[in-house]
Amino acid sequence: MSAQHAIVFDKVTKTFPKASKPSVNETSLAIEKGAFVTILGASGCGKTTLLKMVNRIIEPSGGKLSVFGKDIREVPVNELRQSIGYVIQQVGLFPHMTIEENIATVPNILGWDRQKTQKRTEELMELVHLPTNFKNRYPRQLSGGQQQRVGIARAMAGDPEILLMDEPFGAIDAITRTKLQDDFLDIQRKLGKTVLFVTHDVDEALKLGDRVVVMNEGTIQQYDTPLGMVSKPANEFVKQLIRTDDLFLRLQLINASEKMIALTEPPREGEPRVSGNESLRNVLQRLLVQGSGRVLVEDADGLPVGQLTLDILKFEG
């Protein structure tokens, strides 16, 4: 519960007026600074409610929430929100403002001078891969995926330490979504923001999160790394949801470099090769497609440093 935690939920409960049972029930959760945490669960399980309590769009009915060690009720609500980026599925760009003006929302509230704001806007557009000539366009002139890029840029404009994202890629087609996920993962790795990311897509949760929260009916079922979740599901619910019996899914989460063994014989011409950060799933594919007995694993310089065989992968399954 110390300063290395960005967000701490301490027995937080939310029961909506007239509701028969709480939407979030006595939930405790400590999120480390710089972590990318995905929140996974079926519709109506309380993901959005959990998320929106952090920036006080929803007020908890019990318990305590702190951000960087500080009780969020002690900070003026608008100040709190200015320091936390917020992205929603519907994006919610301001249709009457240009892209530039949208991104500058928080800098304008904070009263930055024009030069600083403009510099920041350009920086952010570059970060989220938007061409700078989009600056003077209006939101409706952009595609859904581009709009969400603006949404992310806008949320990051005030350089918040924390980003809250509620199914940000939920309404976007699969191909564009993959691209957005990859780009956003890059951004997060580069900037080390603490991200709380709601999704109901299992693959998305496991791919993006370095920690995953699985929720059901207002309670957290498990808080673990993707691999931990897949290999040691806490209960039947998690097991079902994550499809832990899915071998491919598990292989997807393990890097080649983690399981490789020393070369048993020197590399030969034409043997399949993968780089160390590729998943075991790709390794399996190579083994099957190329009909080779082993796959060589390369280091960053492209030198083969280890090998993987079907036997090793079998052991994983």
Partner 1 sequence: MDALTGAYDYVLANSERFWDALRVHVTISLSALLIALVVCVPLGIACAKKQWLSVPVMATFNALRVIPSLAILVLILPIMGTGFAPALVALTLLACPPILVNTYLGFRSIDSFVLESASGMGMSQGRILRRIEFPLAAPLMIAGIKTAVVEVVASATLAAFIGGGGLGTFIINGLSMYKFSILLVGAIPVAMLAIASEIVFAVIERRTTKFQRV
Residues near partner 1 (CB under 8 A) = 55, 57, 77-83, 86, 88, 90-97, 105-106, 109, 137-138, 140-141, 151, 154-155
Could you tell me the smallest distance in angstroms from the CB atom of residue 160 to partner 1?
Answer: 10
Residue 196 identity: L
Helix 144-156 vs helix 114-127: crossing angle, to nearest 10: 130
Task: Give the nearer residue to ligand ATP in terms of CB position, either 53 or 128.
Answer: 53
Could you tell me the smallest distance in angstroms from the CB atom of residue 216 to ligand ATP?
Answer: 10
CA-to-CA separations, 91 to 109, 186, 200, in angstroms, rounded = 19, 20, 17
Contact between 16 and ligand ATP per CB under 6 A: yes
Q: Pick from 178, 169, 163: which is nearest to 144 by CA?
A: 169
Q: What is the CA radius of gyration of the chain?
A: 22
Q: How many residues bind ligand ATP (CB under 6 A)?
A: 12
Contact between 48 and Mg ion per CB under 5 A: yes
Contact between 35 and ligand ATP per CB under 6 A: no
Task: Give the nearer residue to partner 1 in terms of CB position, either 19 or 110.
Answer: 110
Which structure tokens are listed for 309? 């065989």
Binding mask 101-130 for ligand ATP (x = CB under 6 A): ------------------------------
Task: State the Cα–Cα distance between residues 245 and 317, nearest whole angstrom.
Answer: 9
Which residues does 215 contact at the CB level (< 8 Å), separation at least 6? 39, 40, 41, 45, 46, 47, 50, 221
Contact between 194 and Mg ion per CB under 5 A: no
Task: Give the nearer residue to ligand ATP in terms of CB position, either 43 or 264.
Answer: 43
Task: State the Cα–Cα distance between residues 216 and 206, nearest whole angstrom.
Answer: 17
Contact between 117 and Mg ion per CB under 5 A: no
State which of residues 12, 35, 45, 172 lies at the interface with ligand ATP (CB under 6 A).
45
Task: State the Cα–Cα distance between residues 44 and 95, nearest whole angstrom.
Answer: 29
Could you tell me the smallest distance in angstroms from the CB atom of residue 70 to ligand ATP?
Answer: 24
Select from Mg ion, partner 1, ligand ATP, none the partner in contact with residue 45, using the beta carbon and a kind-dependent cut-off of 5 to 8 Å: ligand ATP
Could you tell me the smallest distance in angstroms from the CB atom of residue 24 to ligand ATP?
Answer: 7
Task: State the Cα–Cα distance between residues 5 and 53, nearest whole angstrom.
Answer: 17
Stretch that binds ligand ATP, among 45-53, 63-71, 117-125, 242-250 (CB under 6 A): 45-53
| Cβ(191)–Cβ(161) below 8 Å | no
| Cβ(261)–Cβ(286) below 8 Å | no
Residues near ligand ATP (CB under 6 A): 16, 19, 23, 41, 43-49, 200
